[in-house]
């Protein structure tokens, strides 16, 4: 999955950048939506998955959102220890407002991108 991480990394970074821009503009919910999208894109790579949760934790700390802070601390541990085994619910948005084990529909644009990257990763092997 190293290749997957390398290929998907810029797409995750793009969503994280959009989250920072939305935050800077005072659009906190829009910022978190981009963090959720980064989570969906990165959840099959331990490094990217943990990164998304760390950014969600930073968001929660800035918002002083206790439930989200607690949820992200638990999810960081889960992402760091379970992603490598593939124990991730596809499409889960990663916020504390949803069960960490609940699969969710993947938005069509993200699904298409994930499939493109998976196919490139398979072809590279």
Report pLDDT digits (tens) over 14-51. Answer: 999 999 999 999 999 999 999 999 999 999 999 999 99
φ/ψ bin of 86: left (φ > 0), alpha (ψ from -120 to 50), beta (otherwise): left
Task: Kindly state whether residue 125 falls inside one of the protein's structural domains.
Answer: no
Residue 60 belongs to a domain: yes
Task: For 65, list phi and psi in degrees, rounded to 5.
Answer: -100, 90
Residue 23 vs residue 7, higher pLDDT: 23
**pTM for this predicted structure:** 0.93
Does some domain include residue 34? Answer: yes
Q: How many domains does the chain have?
A: 1
Residue 122 lies in a domain: no
Give the residue from 54, 46, 121, 111 showing the smallest Cα distance to 81. Answer: 46
> What is the CA 37 to chain-centroid distance, rounded?
6
- Cα 110 to Cα 12, 63, 66, 113: the distances in Å are 11, 27, 29, 5
Q: Does some domain include residue 111?
A: yes
Q: How confident is the model at residue 5 (pLDDT cuts 50, 70, 90)?
A: confident
């Amino acid at each position: 999955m190293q290749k997957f991480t390398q290929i998907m990394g810029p797409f995750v970074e793009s969503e994280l950048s959009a989250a920072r821009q939305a935050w800077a503009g005072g659009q906190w919910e829009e910022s978190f939506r981009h963090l959720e999208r980064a989570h969906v894109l990165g959840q099959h790579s331990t490094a990217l998955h943990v990164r998304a949760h760390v950014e969600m934790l930073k968001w929660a700390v800035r918002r002083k959102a206790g439930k989200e802070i607690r949820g992200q601390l638990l999810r960081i541990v889960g992402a760091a220890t379970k992603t490598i085994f593939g124990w991730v619910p596809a499409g889960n948005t990663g916020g504390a407002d949803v069960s960490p084990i609940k699969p969710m529909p993947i938005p069509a644009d993200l699904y298409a991108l994930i499939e493109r990257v998976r196919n490139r990763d398979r072809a590279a092997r």
